[in-house]
Structure 1
Amino acid sequence: MIEEPDINLWLAGFIVILCLALSAFFSAGETAFTGASKARMLSLENAGDPRARIVNRLLELRERFIGAMLIGNNIVNIGVSAFTTSVLVGIFGTGGVIYATIVMSLLVIVFSEVLPKTLAITSPDRVSLLFARPVSVVVAVLGPLAYLIERLVKLMLRPFGVRLGENDPILSASDELRGQVDLMHKEGGVAKVERDMLGGLLDLRELTVEDVMVHRTKMRTINADLSPEEIVREVLASPYTRLPLWRDKHENIVGVLHAKDLLRALDAVGGDPNKLKVEAIALETWFVPDTTSLGDQLKAFLTRKTHFALVVDEYGEVQGLVTLEDILEEIVGDIRDEHDVAVQGVRPQADGSVNVDGSVPIRDLNRAMDWRLPDEEATTIAGLVIHEARMIPDAGQAFTFHGFRFQVLRKARNRITALKITPLTAQKPRRAGD
């Protein structure tokens, strides 16, 4: 007479443990699959992992998967709670309801929710691969029921104007990727240099050649009316291999002289520059609109197999020049060789401020100091100050915006030539490469 209740208690305990384990499986599976990296799973699938293929297939059926896991979890939790209540009521009477509520609440919350979800979120990819096959079985069994429930919910919400599955994403694919890269950098998974390179790639479609071009006031050009000997000296004194030729006025570009072509021609005439016909050596000028995106310009450079183009505005006036190197620097950072001028125009100070030349591009300053100054309305840091101040400030004037204090150090005519920028936060700016 005593053994039968003992057997029933052991059976009840086994059923409770089994149901709690199933509930933990459903909770961990849902959490792991939701937090799994789609990029890593796609990489594993391409490498031939069959479990990753199952995970990717289930993630494509996201609503069906989540519905099946929730249905399974609720069935198990409700069933074990009802079973435990009936057992404890049989033992303790009506007081068993209270005991069952307390006991099952603690067991379900700790062992079926918090513990498995915590373990799953710490390593979602590994748990997803481990649970791939059993979860696929659950979705295959409970998927049809989940589909019916999903259809029922959509019908119930339709009178209220709620259309499930028809909302456009708030962020574009590039914005989501940029956010992931920034998050991984913040967590230490991606170095600053790698983050900047990935960000530069994503920015190619958003930036135009006007944002990275060398402005016409800084272009190194040669007067085509100079004697061939003088032109040779100009080319040898220049740090650049491609130099625009102008006649009558600087904006009237008649060709582009390549240093190698000049040296070949000079060698062909026995080294006598007076025998050169410079304009015959010069390459045809390639003009591109200032609204051309960097992505399109990069493709055009590769297609034409040239590295140099002049940028014009809507009126056909030359605004500057852009090279393949300018675009590549947006991806890999500043590229310098033995002939480049070493002055960057960004000089961090011991007190946390930074002295900056007015002509420094905002994007270069952001990359060097890891700042987030806006570059939508202006290209250079001087342009940003003028845009925000709505005036051309004088030397000594200071302004505060975007979390920084900008003080004009020097001004030449209507151009701001030097500024002192001080972050208003306690964090000191970082040097390039930190």
Structure 2
Amino acid sequence: MMSLNRYRMRHLAKQGHGGAKRASQLLARTDRLIGVILIGNNFVNIAAASIATLIAQRIWVDNPELGVSIATVLLTLVVLIFAEVTPKTIAANHPEKVAYPFSYLLRPLLFLLMPFVYVVNTIANFLIRLTGIKLDQDSKDLLSTEEFRTLIHEAGAMIPPKRQQMLLSILDLETVRVNDIMVPRNEIVGIDLDDDIREIENTLRNSQHTRLPVWKGNINNILGMLHMRNAAKVLAQPEFTKAELLQATREPYFVPETAQLHNQLFNFQSEQRRIAIVVDEYGNVQGIATLEDILEEIVGDFTTDMSATSLDVMPQDDGSFIIDGTITIRELNKALNYELSMDGPKTFSGLIIEHLESIPDSNICLKIDDYPIEILKVKANTIASAKIYPIPK
């Protein structure tokens, strides 16, 4: 009974399995179940010992002490082999085949012996409470996040690997923040209302994005988000103005960079949004986060292998990779299955600069977490590109 898989048992009980229903009801009060089993078990063992003693004394009348000793040894072997080790080993390895049929016997026994069980449990529970141990029947089967993660790992072939990864990714949403998956500030494509109207029109016609932020003068002064569906209506006019373009925008949605992804997913749902402007504690724009970015954390990239298609990670013939400095450490680890530390800087460039504690003015080589790295290009006080080699065997 105690070796039963509680979750499988509850699943079978919901499907109408009689034995699983009875076992579930019995296990709801383990103290009563243990009480009725041990009352019967001890009664039989003590009765067997008494009967064996009487039989031994009658057989060895001349030497009853010898008879009792022989009976004790023989009965111990019989009980151990036939009443303890053998049946309990079988039951522990095949709990459902044993527990479900015997649940039909244990329920009426529990009903018949309830007065004895009640007295025994009352005294036992009182003694247990004196030790300071709490008898919590409700929380004993609850799983923590890490326990649930282990359960998914051990599911094996019962859950396909892809679905296992999705479940684990959902659990990881609690540890990932918005600034880990956002598009950084320097990669944001948008419309500056201070630009020439023809330049704005050219940006709209050539944009590969569905939504564009609209700001005036400075990216920290974002006025709205423009959906390309609304932009198409504006572009269809013979002549359009910046005021008309601004009217077609929607009020921007700002989120803090420290927001956890699982909370932000629900916030997108409640706010009916698909894109958010990420700001720091001072209100400065740090990047853009989209609903698709969060979904990719769960189901994986919607595109093909990143290392083969992304310009941020370009494989070389010698087994090395040329890495764009703006790529995030998280994306780099996922693309190349690396284990670079993500506790500090978020970008590859930031990781190199933090390791060097200075901005290099020439191409140098270094090693981070055992990965050999060669800086290829330094531009505007940042690492524009670097080559990373596989760890030598």
TM-score normalised to structure 2 length: 0.77
What's the counterpart of residue 163 of structure 1? Answer: 133
What's the counterpart of residue 137 of structure 1? Answer: 108
Worse overlay, 410-419 or 303-312: 410-419
CA distance in 1, matches of 2:368, 2:128: 53
- Is the Cα–Cα contact under 8 Å of residues 288 and 311 in structure 1 kept in the other structure? yes
What's the counterpart of residue 54 of structure 1? Answer: 22
For 1:411-422, list aligned pairs within 5 A.
Answer: 412=378, 413-415=381-383, 418=386, 419-420=388-389, 422=391
CA distance in 2, matches of 1:370, 1:120: 44
- Is the Cα–Cα contact under 8 Å of residues 356 and 420 in structure 1 kept in the other structure? no
For 1:167-182, list aligned pairs within 5 A.
Answer: 173-182=144-153
What's the counterpart of residue 193 of structure 1? Answer: 162
CA distance in 2, matches of 1:264, 1:307: 21
What's the counterpart of residue 114 of structure 1? Answer: 85
2:3 to 15, 31, 35: 31
What's the counterpart of residue 233 of structure 1? Answer: 202
CA distance in 2, matches of 1:344, 1:89: 92
1:304 to 250, 260, 271: 271
CA distance in 2, matches of 1:399, 1:334: 26
- Is the Cα–Cα contact under 8 Å of residues 228 and 278 in structure 1 kept in the other structure? no
1:321 to 276, 282, 288: 288
Instruction: State the Cα RMSD in Å.
Output: 4.2
TM-score normalised to structure 1 length: 0.71
CA distance in 1, matches of 2:12, 2:276: 43
What's the counterpart of residue 407 of structure 1? Answer: 372
CA distance in 2, matches of 1:151, 1:78: 22
CA distance in 2, matches of 1:72, 1:392: 77
Q: Gapped runs of 5+ residues in structure 1?
A: 1-28, 425-434
**Match for 1:248: what amino acid?**
G
The structure-2 alpha-carbon separation of the partners of 1:228 and 1:96, relative to structure 1 and needing over 3 Å to count, comes to farther
- Distance apart, 1:326 and its partner CA: 1.2
1:331 to 298, 306, 327: 298
- Distance apart, 1:150 and its partner CA: 4.2
- Is the Cα–Cα contact under 8 Å of residues 345 and 360 in structure 1 kept in the other structure? yes
CA distance in 2, matches of 1:127, 1:357: 62
For 1:24-423, list aligned pairs within 5 A.
Answer: 29-32=1-4, 36-38=5-7, 40-92=8-60, 93-142=64-113, 145-156=116-127, 162-165=132-135, 173-184=144-155, 187-267=156-236, 269=237, 272=238, 277-336=244-303, 342-343=309-310, 361=328, 379=346, 391=357, 395-400=364-369, 405-410=370-375, 412=378, 413-415=381-383, 418=386, 419-420=388-389, 422=391
- Distance apart, 1:37 and its partner CA: 3.0
- Distance apart, 1:374 and its partner CA: 6.9
The structure-2 alpha-carbon separation of the partners of 1:59 and 1:326, relative to structure 1 and needing over 3 Å to count, comes to farther
- Distance apart, 1:196 and its partner CA: 1.9
SS of 1:197 mapped into structure 2: helix
Residues paired across the two proteins, number: 380
CA distance in 1, matches of 2:296, 2:170: 10
- Distance apart, 1:191 and its partner CA: 3.1
CA shift digits 1:307-331 (9 cap, x unpaired): 1111112211111111111111122
CA distance in 1, matches of 2:373, 2:17: 60
**Match for 1:231: what amino acid?**
I
Worse overlay, 232-241 or 247-256: 232-241
The structure-2 alpha-carbon separation of the partners of 1:247 and 1:146, relative to structure 1 and needing over 3 Å to count, comes to same
**Match for 1:296: what amino acid?**
N
The structure-2 alpha-carbon separation of the partners of 1:153 and 1:249, relative to structure 1 and needing over 3 Å to count, comes to same
The structure-2 alpha-carbon separation of the partners of 1:275 and 1:316, relative to structure 1 and needing over 3 Å to count, comes to closer
CA shift digits 1:250-296 (9 cap, x unpaired): 332222222222123323x2xx4656732222222111222333233
The structure-2 alpha-carbon separation of the partners of 1:63 and 1:371, relative to structure 1 and needing over 3 Å to count, comes to farther
**Match for 1:214: what amino acid?**
V
- Distance apart, 1:85 and its partner CA: 4.3
SS of 2:3 mapped into structure 1: helix
- Distance apart, 1:199 and its partner CA: 1.8
SS of 1:31 mapped into structure 2: coil
The structure-2 alpha-carbon separation of the partners of 1:177 and 1:126, relative to structure 1 and needing over 3 Å to count, comes to farther
- Is the Cα–Cα contact under 8 Å of residues 222 and 246 in structure 1 kept in the other structure? yes
- Is the Cα–Cα contact under 8 Å of residues 67 and 143 in structure 1 kept in the other structure? no
- Distance apart, 1:181 and its partner CA: 1.0
CA distance in 1, matches of 2:113, 2:330: 53
CA distance in 2, matches of 1:94, 1:349: 88
